[in-house]
Amino acid sequence: MKETNLEALETAFQAKIDKDIRIEPKDWMPEEYRKTLIRQISQHAHSEIVGMLPEGNWITRAPNLRRKAVLLAKVQDEAGHGLYLYSAVETLGADREATIDDLHSGKAKYSSIFNYPTLSWADMGAIGWLVDGAAIMNQVPLCRCSYGPYARAMVRVCKEESFHQRQGFEIMSTLANGTPIQKALAQDALNRFWWPALMMFGPNDSDSPHSQQSMDWKIKRFSNDELRQTFVDVTVPQAEMIGLTIPDPDLKFNEETGHYEFGAINWDEFWEVVKGNGPCNADRIAARRNAKENGQWVREAAMAHEEKRKAKQAS
Amino acid sequence: MNNDLYTYTLRIADDSLILGQRLSELCGHGPILEEDIALTNIALDLIGQATTLFEYAATVQNEGKTADDLAFLRYEHDYKNVLLVEQTNGDFGQTIVRQWLFDTFRVLFYDALQHSSDTQLAAIAEKSLKETKYHCKHSSEWVIRLGDGTEESHSRTQDALDLLWRYSDELFFMDETDQAMIAAKVGVDLAALRPIWMERIQEVVQAATLTIPTNNWKQQGGRLGKHTEHLGFLLADLQYMQRAYPGMQW
Ligand SMILES: [Fe+2]
Ligand SMILES: [Fe+2]
């Protein structure tokens, strides 16, 4: 009897999904669907927050007042994205602080790209252009994700990401059209961020275990390889437009398919970075842990004061 | 050029720039995500104020310099900010107490400056006053929360006040430049603001169960370009790109 109930619920759930009816927090959902979303959305939230660090590095060294203000606002937007996403995770019954503790313990992952260092001002251009650009490819389809709160968060986030992407490209094109030293900075940044940006779409479809189920649930709409291909097709002409060279000797345009073919991705490097062995994993986690530890007394003070205030009001 | 007006404007601009720079060090490292966003907002407002003020100072100076030239390419002793704003962020208590001492001053200052006979300064003050009132509300509320919170937060906040109090006097520093600007009805008589500032500080101190330090030793010199050791390091970061890659457009 119970089993038939569950089966009926699952069938009704899938029927809703197939009809593109959004799933909302109070609706019944399979446990696996909930778990998958908690994992994916909290990873996404962590990526936004950890992603503040490599760019945060350059705020105090931004080359002029305008760039400083724009970069501050950009990194602040990422904090805002983190906030919406943590709220979306909480609608699934997860606790924000607990998911953050999972990040700090290494249990939860975040986008591997943020474990690469930002070594010059040009990296602010490369990150906006490539990393926010890749994020858009991943996130635009998520605006139609079957889970309502996630989809709505993504609509807000995507608007800002495309703004970041344009700003990043504008930094790159300014450098590429600048002095030879500036152009070299831009090329060097592209060289360092190109491959990690391609890795942002995740493993090849053949090695991606969760993909099919996520597709059926309409959490995912396109496969990793499809998204990566779209990104390459869009980005290569942009690089050409500003006179920079994609660091891939195997890159070529296939007239028949209308797509760029690109060289092999170094998946060993990808998995090492995911495992924690990237150039900056330890620094990034240490910075987030420090922020939490240094803020402990502040959060306690705010709570204690609030309780005292309430007690005073009651008496 | 009008030297007094230039110096006067630069002093206001430098306060905003240096404090904005300090706060921007914290972006991505705030104690709570919401507070990370709030402090970044304040940093953005301050950098915005600095930009308009430097643009105006460059016009007054009339040597063909840009706002960025003034912000990034002066030597340490040419910066005229008060010592308070260049002090390090320390813990969150120190960041907030520094902000609150400054914001409380700034609200009164802009409130008076919006009636300046210099229409540019008056307009900048009027616009900046709105955001500064919000900053002041924010920092005052935090001082109260922290002072009144737990034993630990109380003692940390009291320590911050003890440390920073010696720099508060300089907020009211005045010299011939100020006298000339007051005479021209451009500048603000800071002596007149001081009692109101003290009253507002005391209100918050009381609500926060803190104590105003009895040590009245005062530090000053920033307005004349004599700084603490902290400023040089801050400028090394701030000016890095302009010094390492001179004369380029970014
Ligand atoms: Fe983002
Ligand atoms: Fe972004």
Instruction: Quickly list DSSP for chain A.
Output: -HHHHHHHHHHHHHHHHHTTPPB-TTS---HHHHHHHHHHHHHHHHHHHHTHHHHHTTTTT-SSHHHHHHHHHHHHHHHHHHHHHHHHHHTTT--HHHHHHHHHHTSS---GGGGS---STHHHHHIIIIIIHHHHHHHTGGGG-SBHHHHHHHHHHHHHHHHHHHHHHHHHHHHHTS-HHHHHHHHHHHHHHHHHHHHTT-S-GGG-TTHHHHHHTTS--S-HHHHHHHHHHHHHHHHHHTT---S-TT-EEETTTTEEE-----HHHHHHIIIIISTTHHHHHHHHHHHHHHHHHHHHHHHHHHHHHHHHHH-
User: pLDDT digits over A86-123, tens only?
Assistant: 999 999 999 999 999 999 999 999 999 999 999 999 99
pLDDT at position A227 is 97
Tell me the residue type at A224: N
CB contact under 8 A, B145 and A53: no
| Residues B51, A62 contacting (CB under 8 angstroms) | no
CB spacing of A304 vs B150 below 8 angstroms: yes
Confidence of residue A145 (pLDDT cuts 50, 70, 90): very high
Residue entry with tokens 């104690």:
B31
pLDDT for the residue A211: 79
Ligand 2: centre distance to CA B126 (Å): 33
A272 CA from centroid of ligand 2 (Å): 25
Å from CA of A111 to ligand 2 middle: 13
pLDDT, average across residues B232-245: 98
**CA-based diameter of chain B, in Å?**
55
ipTM summary value: 0.97
Is the Cβ of B51 closer than 8 Å to some Cβ of chain A? yes
Name which of A178, A300, A302 is nearest B248 (Cβ-Cβ). A178
Smallest CA-to-CA distance from B234 within A60, A53, A70 is with A60
Instruction: Give me the percent of chain A exceeding a pLDDT of 90.
Output: 94
Report the mean per-residue pLDDT for chain A.
95
Interface contact A182, partner B, CB < 8 A: yes
Quickly state the pLDDT bin for A2 (edges 50, 70, 90). low
Residue of B nearest to A174 (CA): B250
Superfamily of the domain at B2-213+222-244: Ferritin, core subunit, four-helix bundle (1.20.1260.10)
Average pLDDT over residues B12-16: 98
How confident is the model at residue A30, as a pLDDT? 96
Report which residue type is found at B37.
Answer: I
Query: For residue A52, what is the nearest residue in chain B, using CA coordinates?
Result: B28
What percent of chain B is modeled with pLDDT above 90? 98
B54 and A300 within 8 Å at the Cβ level: the answer is no
CB-nearest to A305 from B31, B50, B145 is: B145
Mean of pLDDT values over A12-19: 95
Q: How many CB atoms lie within 10 A of CB A303?
A: 13
> Are A54 and A34 a contacting pair, CB within 8 Å?
no
What are the chain A neighbours of B153 within 8 Å (beta carbons)?
297-298, 300-301, 304
Largest Cα–Cα distance of chain A, in whole Å?
A: 79
Pick the closest to residue A228 from A208, A196, A201, A204 (CA basis).
A201
Tokens, residue B200:
């507002």
The CA angle A220-A224-A230, to the nearest 5 degrees, is: 105
Residue B112 CA, ligand 1 centroid: distance in Å:
41
**Sign of the torsion angle spanned by Cα atoms B21, B22, B27, B32:** negative
Residue A6 identity: L
Q: Are B116 and B189 in contact, with CB atoms under 8 Å apart?
A: no
Residues of A in contact with B27 (CB under 8 A): 52, 56, 59, 72, 75-76
> What mean pLDDT do residues A145-164 have?
95
| Amino acid at site B223 | R
**If you compute the radius of gyration of chain A from its CA atoms, what whole number of angstroms results?**
21
Query: Closest chain A residue to B154 measured between Cα atoms?
Result: A301
Residue A252: beta bridge partners? A261
Which phi and psi (to 5°) does residue A67 adopt? Answer: -65, -35
Is A293 an 8 Å CB contact of chain B?
no
CA distance B5 to chain A (A): 22
What does the block give as tokens for A300? 């306690």
Query: In this complex, is the C-beta atom of A62 within 8 Å of any C-beta atom belonging to chain B?
Result: yes
Contacts of A76 in chain B (CB under 8 A): 27, 36-37, 40-41, 44
What value does the mean pLDDT take over residues B76-98?
A: 98
Q: Between A293 and A212, name the one with better pLDDT.
A: A293
Neighbours of B98 (CB within 10 A): 27
Q: How many Cβ atoms are within 10 Å of B173's Cβ, its own excluded? A: 17
pLDDT of A83 higher than 70: yes
Nearest to A65 among B27, B47, B240 (CB): B47
A178 touches chain B (CB under 8 A): yes
**Interface membership of A154 toward B (CB under 8 Å):** no
A228-239 pLDDT tens trace: 999 999 999 999
pLDDT category at B142 given cuts 50, 70, 90 is very high
Q: For residue A4, what pLDDT band results from cuts at 50, 70 and 90?
A: confident
- When pLDDT is averaged across residues B83-111 and rounded to a whole number, the result is 98
Is the model's pLDDT at A210 over the cut of 80?
no
Task: Tell me the chain A residues in contact with residue B32 when contact means C-beta distances shorter than 8 Å.
Answer: 295, 298-299
Question: What residue spans define the domains of chain B?
Answer: 2-213+222-244
Under DSSP, the state recorded for B214 is S
Inter-chain CB proximity B44 and A69 less than 8 Å? yes
Q: Which residues of A touch B245 (CB under 8 A)?
A: 63, 179, 181-182
- Any A CB within 8 A of B6 CB: no
Q: How far is A65 from chain B (nearest CA, A)?
A: 6
Assess whether pLDDT exceeds 70 at residue A37: yes
- DSSP assignments along B100-168, one per residue: HHHHHHHHHHHHHHTT-SSHHHHHHHHHHHHHHHHHHHHHHHHHHHHHHS-HHHHHHHHHHHHHHGGGT
Whether A182 and B71 lie within 8 Å, measured CB to CB: no
Angle, CA B216 vertex, CA B14 and CA B221 arms, to 5°: 30
Q: For the CA atoms of B152, B155, B158, B163, what is the dihedral angle to 10 degrees?
A: -100
Is A100 touching B (CB cutoff 8 A)? Answer: no
Angle between helices A148-176 and A180-199 (to 10 degrees): 150
pLDDT score of B38 more than 90? yes
Q: Decide if B232 touches A, using CB distance below 8 A.
A: no
Q: Check A295 against B72: CB less than 8 A apart.
A: no
Interface membership of A304 toward B (CB under 8 Å): yes
- Is B144 part of the contact surface with chain A (CB cutoff 8 Å)? yes
Residue of chain B with shortest Cα separation from A55: B28
Look up residue B37 and give its two tokens.
């966003």
DSSP letter (8 states) at residue B247:
T
- Let me know how long chain B is: 250
Average pLDDT over every residue of A169-187: 98
Mean pLDDT of A37-60: 97
Chain A neighbors of B207, CB-CB under 8 A: none
